[in-house]
Chains A and B, each alone.
Chain A
Amino acid sequence: MNARRPATLIRIGAFCVIAGELIALASQFDVGPTPFVVFILGGGVLTAGGALLALYGVLRTPTARP
């Protein structure tokens, strides 16, 4: 698997977005500083990083010919 291929970038990015969103959701069911930090570092950073990676992959994907 070539990590520089657009499809691979989209896959990795999408996986990070899914993981980040699930972590962000799970962190909301407990009260305290640790869930808050998990939300910021786990949810926020993973989701934002994954989304940027996936969008970069989308931009690098060649346009499909009809």
Chain B
Amino acid sequence: MLELIPGPLIAIVATLIGVLLAADFLFRPGRAKQGAGPLVAAIAFIAVPGLVLTVGAERHIGMSKKTEFCLSCHEMHPHGATLLNAESLAGKHFANRYVPREQACYTCHTEYTMYGGMAAKLKGLQHLVVHYRGGITDPIKTYDPYSNRECLHCHEGAASFDEAIGHGDELESFRADKVSCLECHKPAHGVEAGDVTKAYGGEKQFELPKLESKDGAH
């Protein structure tokens, strides 16, 4: 039911109710123990702020999956630019819409496991710390080697995958990560050494893809 109501509307209405209830206590703090005062206080200072922060957190987590979010950091611009380079693996996925363009980075850089989404969020927080504290490696490397599991999540069983020469014989090796998909399908991005530092320092501009989003939040 809540999915039918736009996220911003829920956030605005919840905030408005929260502000009005809290404003009542701001101007009339004496009513805290009069009549229904304690109940209203519980709503104003527990229920509504809880709702406001939950809705806000949900919206921010949704927005953090967007390509626009990832590319809002300068150091990610070289990688963002490779989405327009059809020679790179990322560019092929973006150009052919193998991944949703609004969530291009997240689709490939999340883990397709039970708690993969949560692990991706925790790594995202780690990215934030690195972004603000500095110490970004050039070239940027993933924390762990890229697992074939993320590729096979979409490609395994697809006719184009099964018909490709060599895939059928090596499937078990792919599943066990003995042979990386990237050994044949490289470069993943093709970012040149030094580009990240130049982008972070604002020395070089990179052409970024224009992203059309159907929904402002997700």
Contact = CB atoms under 8 A, between A and B. Distances in A.
Contacts of B44: 14, 17, 54
Contacts of A47: 49, 52-53
B171 interface: no
A10 B11 contact: no
Chain B: number of interface residues, binned into ranges = 35 or more
Contacts of B217: 28
Is chain A's interface secondary structure helix, strand, loop, or mixed overall? Answer: helix
A7 B29 CA distance: 5
Interface string B69-98: 100110000000000000000000000000
Interface in A1-50: 6-8, 10-11, 13-15, 17-18, 20-22, 24-25, 27-29, 31-33, 35-37, 39, 43-44, 47-48, 50
A24 B56 contact: yes
Contacts of B66: 31
A14 B73 contact: no
A33 B23 contact: no
Contacts of A25: 11-12, 15, 52, 56
Contacts of B72: 31-33
Given A10-B29, A17-B44, A51-B45, A33 B128 contact: yes
B131 interface: yes
A14 B23 contact: yes
Given A25-B11, A33-B127, A55-B46, 11 more contacts: A14-B23, A14-B26, A14-B29, A21-B19, A21-B22, A21-B49, A24-B52, A27-B60, A33-B128, A43-B53, A48-B53
